[in-house]
Amino acid sequence: MRDISLDALTFDHLRAMKDNSVAEGRHLDYKLELPGVRDDDKKEFLADICSFANAGGGDLVFGIEEAKDETGKNAGTIAQLRGLPGFNVDETQRRLEAIIRDGLDPRLPSLRFRTIDGGSDGPFLVVRVGRSFVTPHMVKFQNLSRFYSRNGQSKFQLDVREIRAAFLEADQGLQRARSFRLDRIARILADDTPVRTGNGPRWALHVVPVRHAWNADVALVSDAQMQRGFRPMRANSWSLRHNLDGLVSVSGSKDARESHTYSILFRDGAVEGVDAGLLEWNGEERVIPSVAIEEYVQKYADLYVRLLRRLGVDAPLAIGLSFLNALDFKMGVSSDTMWFRDKPLGFDRRELLMPEVIVETDSVNYSQLRGAFDVMWQAAGWPGSLNFGEDGAWMPQR
């Protein structure tokens, strides 16, 4: 069920799950009623959410009456699609979000709700827990401190050995992604890349799987239409060629050894994009057009994340923005003019690597990237990005 986009879920999917006797499992759990207001109800709900978060994510579907086995116990399949009587969407979502927010540590990076009409007694509620990169999560409710995961149709409490292994796996996954990025930055600086972009100022974007089980040979896909969609950053036309790394997309001829921009889809599920045309000199000033850089980072991070997810590369994905040979570059207040408010000094070092942004979703929006954008502006002497309003929405300074 979690392979279906949450926004695309309909009553027809639930009916098909009933007709096909789809059973509960590691990533799916049926509930007839919403959690009540008693402490025991909240603890049970938190344990369910925690177990999904620590087991790769999953869906809780409320409003499902389960079939019974010969002993009268729930069999894990759907008997009736009842729905939730007297269901108030906004009130319920606020209540459940508050329980999860206050009862899990660390907080979940990905949690979504969807209401589906069509039940005999009312609508259904699907709570989707995304795969988390900050595992393991712990239930912290009153005096309770417990770690849970899932195995088959049931949840279980982690023992000390399993907790230790979960912490180690999470740390190693992020470190692998960071090490890959650092190695690639060193190669770009040494001009040890399939397409040379020169020694001038450049910016690079990396999208790297965090999980250790990367899919092999994703760059050797045969879908020509998908390959045409894999393009280098800021390129009007591009060509594709295979190499030892995987699939190279370069502006211009496919035989080009030099270009202002290229991208690589690596065999093991990572993407690298490098562009040498956006960072500019304006007389004596070195300028990063602030609106344009944020637009391009969002555009191509979203493009590459969508590409990897279509190829079956599992989330979470680490997005890394870097600037190379960028000493003294300043943030231009708009993409059209090179006007500086208060004229901060600009970048105080040649190479700058923004902290990785971890995404669990199938797409990337501006709010997810804001942390990296704020650090970019701070590195140039500003308190944060000027392109976000007080409500957190992206509002570019044109």
φ and ψ of 44, to 5 deg: -65, -40
Specify the pTM. 0.64
Q: How confident is the model at residue 228 (pLDDT cuts 50, 70, 90)?
A: low
Please choose, from the candidates 140, 94, 131, the residue with its C-alpha nearest in 3D space to the C-alpha of residue 109. 131
Domains with residue ranges and CATH for the chain? 6-158 (3.30.950.30), 172-379 (no CATH)
How far apart are the C-alpha atoms of 280 and 220, rounded to whole Å?
36
Mean pLDDT of the chain: 87
What confidence score (pLDDT) does residue 142 get? 85
From the number of C-beta atoms within 10 Å of its C-beta (0-12, 13-18, 19+), residue 275 rates as buried
What confidence score (pLDDT) does residue 338 get? 47
Burial pattern 372-398, b for ≥16 Cβ within 10 A else e, equals bbbbbbebbbbeebbbbeeeeebebee
Q: Among 192-196, 213-217, 218-222, 394-398, where is mean pLDDT lowest?
A: 213-217
Q: CA end-to-end span of the chain, whole Å?
A: 43
- For residue 392, give Cα distances in angstroms to 298, 356, 389: 15, 20, 5
How much of the chain, in percent, has pLDDT values that exceed 90? 54
How far apart are the C-alpha atoms of 316 and 318, rounded to whole Å?
7
DSSP states of 165-184 as a string? HHHHHHHHHHHHHHHHHHHH
How far apart are the C-alpha atoms of 257 and 165, rounded to whole Å?
45
Please choose, from the candidates 355, 358, 356, 272, the residue with its C-alpha nearest in 3D space to the C-alpha of residue 314. 358
Is it the case that residue 213 has pLDDT exceeding 50?
no
How confident is the model over 299-349, as pLDDT tens digits? Answer: 999 999 999 888 878 778 899 999 999 999 988 875 444 455 456 778 999
Side chain identity, residue 291: V
Q: How confident is the model at residue 283 (pLDDT cuts 50, 70, 90)?
A: low
